[in-house]
Structure 1
Amino acid sequence: MSDHQHRHHDEPAAGEEFWDARYRESNRIWSGKANDVLVREAADLTPGRALDLGCGEGADAVWLARQGWHVTGTDISGVALERAAEHAAEAKLSDRVEWQRHDLAESFPAGEFDLVSACFLHSYGDFPRERILRTAASAVAPGGILLIAGHAGGPSWDPAKHADIDFPTPDEVLAQLELPEGGWEVLLAEAHVQPLTGPDGRPGSRPDNALKVRRLP
């Protein structure tokens, strides 16, 4: 569910029908590779139960499964989830990943997880991202990790793109989570530049940020 275009905030959040149509526009929307920030920040974690929010076509979930995690991947799009399941089957990891369809504005996977990942969880319209991320924090088991990655501005080839959007800093995301004092440890709160390929095929970049917090036992 990691689309980065924008509509006015007073419009309803995009639903399943919209996202199914979006995914049907091509055989693959995303690169098929796990997000760099997830690979960097989860590589040394002890595998347990993981939740991938807005899993899209499943690259992050499959990468986690390959590292030994038991993964729940969730997305609003049934089309995306079908592709994700195919990706897991091709990797012979179907037994390590469960796919669930959720409109995260309306429902959320049950249970506690040792890792909850929300990488580029953006959507069209009035998407309640802050509330969803607070719910994500509540799903982290004691000793577990919440990893949130998001954009911090427009791409290098169009820096004014989405200028009307307030991209929160890591510190602002942390404040929005409203975590209980003394219950969490901040492991990472940083901005970074992500290399990208522009629409003309030339190298480009985009400013991103990441927040990684651990729920204390």
Structure 2
Amino acid sequence: MSAVDRSSYDELYRSAPAVWSGRPNRQLVVEGSVLPPGTALDAGCGEGADALWLAERGWRVTAVDFSAVALDRAAAHARARGLDDRITWVHADLDVWTPAEGGFDLVAAHYLHSRGADRPALFARLGGAVAPGGTLLVVGHLLGEGAGDHHQGHEHVEHGHQGPHGHDPDLLYTAEDVAAVLDPAQWRDVVPETRDRDAAAVARTGNAAPDTVLVARRRSGVR
């Protein structure tokens, strides 16, 4: 069974001309700004802000989402900015879709919604898609001690609607959860951290819950 009601995301995107801010996620900017351009996988791309940011900086991007409405909107943005030849849009469910093994210099996933039982396999597939010497970046919302009422009260605001997507603690994870699925023999510099959210995002959504961030580098010569 799918982690969440996929059709409701199409309804979400149809509900407004733009659901998200149109700005790239802060942690992608922090990490991506120091990487040389290459091939990137944007897992759960939504309206495409991260994919567009990468493409503008010389990356060739594969951007995946299960919402056809979001992908159509993202592709239109890419055409308007002359970036459509640098981005491949893929309509797929990340809970079952398997990316090319070792196919990307950067694999980035922000705020994915996947049930606890499905997440280890999902993160393992994303990790497997990182090329030798490449980078894995996974960012989630951290539900910490004492943050429960605040987080559940505002997460649906950020995601544009009331519903199951931001409320269920089973959809939340930590950077340590992601790190646990990575084989230490294949990875170096595995860094799980808690980082403050982008101040603009906090102001827009009212959700000050910090980000849980996993950055890992795949060892060169290891597949």
- Considering the TM-score relative to the shorter chain, is it more than 0.5? yes
Question: Which of the two has greater strand per residue?
Answer: 1
Q: Which runs of 5+ in 2 are unaligned?
A: 153-165
Counterpart in 2 of 1:82?
72
Counterpart in 1 of 2:215?
212
Question: Which of the two has greater helix per residue?
Answer: 2
Q: What is the CA distance between 1:133 and its match in structure 2? A: 1.1
Q: Which runs of 5+ in 1 are unaligned?
A: 1-10
Counterpart in 2 of 1:97?
87
Which of 64, 68, 72 is residue 62 of structure 2 equivalent to? 72
Deviations 1:9-48 (A, max 9, x none): xx74235422211211111111100000000011010111
Which of 152, 173, 177 is residue 172 of structure 1 equivalent to? 177
Whole-angstrom CA distance in 1 between matches of 2:96 and 2:70: 18
Counterpart in 2 of 1:184?
187
Deviations 1:80-130 (A, max 9, x none): 00011011112111111010101112223335100000111125x677233
Task: Kindly indicate whether the alpha-carbon contact (under 8 Å) linking 1:13 and 1:127 is maintained by their aligned counterparts in 2.
Answer: no
Counterpart in 2 of 1:31?
21
AA matched with 1:173: V
Which of 13, 16, 34 is residue 44 of structure 1 equivalent to? 34
Deviations 1:122-162 (A, max 9, x none): 25x67723321110001111111100000102797952527
Whole-angstrom CA distance in 2 between matches of 1:78 and 1:163: 24
What SS does the corresponding residue of 1:197 show, helix, strand or coil? helix
Kindly report the root-mean-square deviation, in angstroms, between the aligned alpha carbons of the 2 structures.
2.5
Counterpart in 2 of 1:6?
none
